């Protein structure tokens, strides 16, 4: 999937992946896509709620064992 920026949140626990995502998204323009790599097991639920609450679009996420990848489009 095409993305405009990337964030490595591996090794960080809640709420740091979300906080770093918010900061990185503030650097992007509307419609750009951010790829996030994370290892926190609660990240799947956290990013789903984050997208719902903020209006950003969770385009896709994958679970590769202990690593998760998310693609968010900025609103």
- Can you list the positions of beta strands (E) in 20-75? 33-38, 57-64, 67-73
The CATH code belonging to domain 5-73 is 3.30.110.40
Would the pTM count as exceeding 0.75? yes
Give domain limits for the chain. 5-73
| Percentage helix, strand, coil for the chain under 3-state DSSP, each rounded to 5 | 30, 35, 35
Mark whether 16 is an active-site residue. Answer: no
Catalytic choice (12, 14, 44, 59): 14
Q: What is the pLDDT along the chain (75 residues), one digit of tens a residue?
A: 899 999 999 999 999 999 999 999 999 999 999 999 999 999 999 999 999 999 999 999 998 888 999 999 999
């Amino acid at each position: 999937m095409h993305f405009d920026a990337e964030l490595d949140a591996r090794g960080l626990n809640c709420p740091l992946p979300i906080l770093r995502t918010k900061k990185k998204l503030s650097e992007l323009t509307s419609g750009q896509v951010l790829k996030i790599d994370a290892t926190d097991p609660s990240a799947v639920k956290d990013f789903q709620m984050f997208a719902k609450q903020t209006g950003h679009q969770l385009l896709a996420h994958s679970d590769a064992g202990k690593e998760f990848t998310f693609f968010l489009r900025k609103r």
